[in-house]
Copies of this chain bind each other. A is one copy, B any other.
Amino acid sequence: MSSFNFEGRDFIDIKDYTREELEYIFKIANRMETIAKTGSSLLRGKILASLFFEPSTRTRLSFESAMLRLGGGVIGFAEPSVSSVAKGETLADTVRVVENYADIIVLRHPMEGAAKLAADLASIPVINAGSGTMSHPTQALLDLYTIWREKGKIDGLTIALMGDLKYGRTVKSLAYALSKFNISLVLVAPPQLKMRREVIEDLKSVGMEVKEVTSLEEVIREIDVLYVTRIQKERFPDLSEYEQVRGSYRVDPSILSLGKSDLIVMHPLPRVDELSPEVDKTRHAKYFKQTWYGLLVRMALLALLLGAIK
């Protein structure tokens, strides 16, 4: 019997959940592995409103698949042009209408704080699938779950985040989520794209060990997890500057051969140049598995927030 209460709650920010609650979600996600292959009627009669005011196929399909696997149904839209927003409706009104049509809302919206606003208004649970410049917390949740599944634990690991750590939303969210565990964090970024001072201070203030380097070579031997993200050309005013850093932040089998044999490589996808397709065939590659784990975690979340699993 669980002493947690998930029914009716929102999932807006991973900070709203304790480490113990996250670990409970992971346990439920484990149980979803069978259902994800065979289907279930756990949420039969329930409806998910999938409201994507910004397109995001991967996240949308993941949530919709999760709901269908649990026996529920899905309504919604994949882009704003087909929504009432075009008619000037406020998000608040959209939410108060849609809550009459569904049992749970998954929302992606370009406006900062949109998911929080929706959650405050709606009488049904709201899951944040990204609002404004904040990454969606279910990405951080599935990242944690991937590490937990693949390494058997999170505590005690040395985890490197690499790429654009200044503007990248995913890495920032993940860093905060990791601060609930006892890990060593390694930040690998070019000087122009280092993680912001205040974020690092936040992380250190809760006791996290944080190291900053500018090249993967410096730390490849000591890390257990390498989380790769894209470096966007647009971030560099001078293209030659971009060309210079580009190569150093591309992961391929040769650099990985220097690391631990059980090093895992993760990526939020889609990837472009920063992660060579040659890595796909190595034992290190876990980024497609991450997608599978994402499905399990979202199934767990839907079942818990809708009270189908206590």
Contacts and interface: CB of A to CB of B under 8 A. Distances in A.
Interface string A25-65: 00000000000001110001111010000011110011011
A68 B78 contact: no
Contacts of A109: none
A93 B44 CA distance: 32
Interface in A104-159: none
Contacts of A47: 65, 68-69
Given A65-B102, A101-B295, A57 B73 contact: no
A45 B55 contact: no
A291 B100 CA distance: 7
Contacts of A58: 84, 97
A271 interface: yes
B88 A272 contact: yes
Given A77-B78, A88-B270, A61 B98 contact: yes
Contacts of A83: 55, 57
A199 interface: no
A82 B57 contact: yes
A89 B269 contact: yes
Contact of A101 (B40, B62, B87): B62
Contacts of A102: 65
Contacts of A56: 84
Copies of this chain, complex-wide, total: 3
A233 B231 CA distance: 46
Interface centre among A39, A71, A101 (most CB of B within 10 A): A101
Contacts of A55: 81-83, 86
Interface range for A? 35 or more
A217 B234 CA distance: 58
A288 interface: yes
A97 B45 contact: no
A57 B84 contact: yes
Contacts of A271: 89, 93
Contact of A61 (B69, B75, B294): B75
A76 B96 CA distance: 25
Contacts of A79: 81-82
A7 to B, nearest CB: 15
A181 interface: no
A176 B307 CA distance: 45
Given A47-B68, A61-B101, A101-B291, 15 more contacts: A49-B61, A58-B97, A61-B75, A61-B98, A62-B101, A68-B73, A74-B75, A77-B78, A88-B270, A89-B269, A89-B271, A93-B270, A96-B291, A100-B294, A100-B295
B39 A44 contact: yes
Contacts of A46: 39
Interface centre among A46, A79, A93, A277 (most CB of B within 10 A): A93
Nearest to A56: B84
